[in-house]
Structure 1
């Protein structure tokens, strides 16, 4: 598998890969989008807008994995360099414009696949575990999102997308972090991530979410 930073023209294929990967996943799929099978295109559009929301953020890096034969996007990662200076005034204007555009899309074409009461549950719960990203961990490379299309899983693409950010964390001499989906903790453990806390608290815990291990990769900082 080949990886590279995403192009604007990749957004739809990124969203399609994400929707396929998370179709039966407990958080993005079952909890946040209970009607995803009834409105599959709305489910795809959710991920496309999610990626677009961060497109003009200079601290956000969208990385895609490609089928070497067809060049089709079959997986992606969203890495964020946290704890650095905010965007320039030009960048801030571009981000504000993007937010306004996406708000208009959400108003004109609402997400029919979603449960309106649950769609923002992760953001609403974040203050309960935000303390894990303070002090020496404030500056970090955070893996906000990772997916591989089910037809391409097990071929090493996830590893490449994870190492893209881990290697940058090592270059910058800071840690990397991720909130793991259920059952993926051992996968991240192969690349130096260790659990330090849980994100499935508050409403997430009350809804029965099993995933949510907060993992940091920081062993390289002591060598």
Structure 2
């Protein structure tokens, strides 16, 4: 559960580091899992998709291990960890994962993969398939999980239809230790992707929660449309357990947001005096 204890102001700057399965020791991955499970412990989207998950904390933790394990082995994904130094000790306080998508991805990630990593990736996938078959998550509510997946699929289709988004970076997850929030950590993790997008001349895309929209806007992202597959409406009749009736609920409405680097933005021509 997220700690409610306030911590003293930290004078050190935020340091960012890219990690893979090669430089992520168990102590670090356990810390990242601790951050994710605590940050999303009372998250409404997870409460909706996994309504009894507080009764099954091991499955809740394993869900994030599955996400992180896949991302550490995927050469198209950069796992970026944020550190703060306190009393000469580097403390991991959050992380984000950015995925390169599009036909130019293979060339862009050349050198990030190898036969050993491919073998590990296949073994990990096999392990997770067996684990899901033998030890399914008892707190999972499949209709809600499927509906959420459909929402993300719709935004993915929207990206594919947008000009200049054939190749782009996508923010998969952004998480900060609740005890270290409001320190600029989330902003630093987002700006890593923004800077990469500028350097590579490709745009970024993400799905923002209502709570997260502020930091993305501050980093230069603009809202393209509202993501709402969770409330009844035209063509979406009310279904018990599938939709939410509460207007303004935190998880029901999110935003699909994009960032386009200056090199992709139309240039305004000004007449000479």
TM-score (norm 2): 0.72
Q: Which structure 2 residue ranges, 5 or more long, are not aligned?
A: 1-13, 233-242, 245-250, 268-273
The 1:62/1:119 distance shift into structure 2, 3 A limit, reads same
Q: Say which of 80, 92, 100 aligns to 2:99.
A: 80
Establish whether residue 216 from structure 1 lines up as the match of residue 258 from structure 2: yes
Q: Say which of 8, 24, 34 aligns to 1:8.
A: 24
Q: Distance in 2 between matches of 1:131 and 1:150?
A: 33
Q: Distance in 2 between matches of 1:143 and 1:127?
A: 15
Q: Which moved more, 1:39-48 or 1:92-101?
A: 92-101
Q: Distance in 1 between matches of 2:41 and 2:91?
A: 20
Establish whether residue 132 from structure 1 lines up as the match of residue 174 from structure 2: no
RMSD of aligned Cα (Å) = 2.3
The 1:24/1:211 distance shift into structure 2, 3 A limit, reads farther
1:1-223 equivalence runs, <5 A: 1-6=14-19, 7-9=23-25, 10-27=28-45, 29-69=46-86, 70-83=89-102, 84-86=104-106, 90=115, 94-134=120-160, 135-201=163-229, 204-206=230-232, 207-208=243-244, 209-218=251-260, 220=262, 221-222=264-265
Pair member with larger Rg: 2
Q: Which structure 1 residue ranges, 5 or more long, are not aligned?
A: none
Q: Which has the higher helix share?
A: 1
Quick check: 2:201–2:261 contact (8 Å CA) kept in 1? no
Q: Deviations over 1:126-162 (max 9, x none)?
A: 3323232124112111111001011010111101110
**Count of aligned pairs between the two proteins:** 220
Q: Distance in 1 between matches of 2:180 and 2:133?
A: 35
Q: What's the CA shift for 1:93?
A: 5.1
The 1:72/1:105 distance shift into structure 2, 3 A limit, reads farther
TM-score (norm 1): 0.87
